[in-house]
Amino acid sequence: MPETHQPETHQVVILGSGPAGLTAAIYTARANLAPFVIEGEPSSTSDQPGGQLMLTTEVENYPGFVEGVLGPDLMTQFRDQAARFGAQFLTRKAKRVDFSSRPFRIWTESTEGEPDILAQVLIVATGARAVMLNVPGEAELIGHGVSTCATCDGFFFRNQKIVVVGGGDSALEEASFLTRFGESVTVVHRRKELRASKIMQDRAFANDKIDFIWDSVVTEVLGDGKVSGVALTNIVTGEQSTLDTSGVFVAIGHVPNTSVFAGELDMDENGYIKTTDGTRTNVDGVFACGDVQDHIYRQAITSAGSGCMAAIDAERWLEAKGEA
């Protein structure tokens, strides 16, 4: 028999624990609002406590770190700083939410019965995760040559041929990182030009171990038990080919982690939460910050900045209600 718990009520609940969620936690904690952070669950995708930076190595553009900082270390610092001011953490995910009345209702244990957490004000910072290719062979070969985490799995491809799919900063960052291990790294990109920043492009072009296949998409991941290659189609000429490789790393873009909010929060056609007037959503008392509402900038620093905005918006909103 499941026990019946009284739901816990918190003044501020934050969903997500990347730069946005943890900055919101630091600010609301310092405003004595005792934030409760539902930080997510471990996974090998970026939908996990700490967010996308947990799967990166060197972060060189976060201000204040002259020599750079490791992504996971940076997020540990964020979390410790929030905890220092009294933020509490729960290592689970929201499975169901109901924003139709206040306090907002959140289920983290089961979607059945009564919610286990109630929130007077809610800050949504659930971020985004990497998109997979969705081609034959990919799902079957995850962990057998198809990887969602270059920092975890690069080691296994020492002196082997590696393919990275994508043309943005994340793709080139992974490609550069993987040259530490692989004999060669081939970047497969669907266009003729990269989306990545100039500095990342310059670095990649200067690296002897990285080469490029342009205007091409992966149509299948090949291999029996482990990856042996990828099938490619040139989308300009229609030409099909096969490329031998033992590792496939996918970095073709992101989707927001918003499926749990369907029917509750207004989103754009790609599932990003719509915000207006700072970080307000269509539900009064629910705020959104970070990559869950931003598909344009997507940086740790912009995410942290919008987390700070959400904290200030939430605090003022509670003040206006006479509840802060």
Q: Binding residues for other proteins, per CB under 8 A?
A: 41-45, 48-50, 54-55, 71-72, 91-93, 142-145, 147-149, 151-153, 155-156, 226
Indicate the DSSP class of residue 33: -
Question: What is the nearest approach in angstroms of other proteins to the Cβ of residue 212?
Answer: 25
Q: Is 308 a known active-site residue?
A: no
Question: What is the nearest approach in angstroms of other proteins to the Cβ of residue 223?
Answer: 11
The answer to whether the peptide bond before residue 63 is cis (omega within 30 degrees of 0) is no
Q: Which is nearer to other proteins, 149 or 312 (CB)?
A: 149
Q: Which is nearer to other proteins, 28 or 46 (CB)?
A: 46
Q: Which is nearer to other proteins, 39 or 291 (CB)?
A: 39
Q: Is 149 a known active-site residue?
A: yes
Q: Which neighbouring-strand residues pair with 13?
A: 36, 122
Residue owning tokens 């799967």: 55
Question: What is the nearest approach in angstroms of other proteins to the Cβ of residue 35?
Answer: 21
Q: Which neighbouring-strand residues pair with 59?
A: 69
Contacts 24+ apart (CB under 8 A), 196-203: 196/167, 196/168, 196/169, 196/171, 196/172, 197/169, 200/169, 200/172, 200/173, 200/176, 201/172, 203/172, 203/176
Question: From the candidates 73, 80, 98, 152, which is the catalytic residue?
Answer: 152
Question: What is the nearest approach in angstroms of other proteins to the Cβ of residue 143?
Answer: 3
Q: Which is nearer to other proteins, 142 or 312 (CB)?
A: 142
The candidate with the shortest Cα–Cα distance to 234, out of 242, 226, 225, is 242
Question: From the candidates 47, 116, 153, 313, which is the catalytic residue?
Answer: 153
Q: Is 266 a known active-site residue?
A: no
Question: What is the nearest approach in angstroms of other proteins to the Cβ of residue 44?
Answer: 4
Paired tokens of 289: 């910050």
Going by C-beta distance under 8 Å and a sequence separation of 6 or more, which residues neighbour residue 145? 221, 223, 226, 227, 245, 246, 247, 248
Q: Which is nearer to other proteins, 41 or 98 (CB)?
A: 41
- Residues designated as active site: 149, 152-153
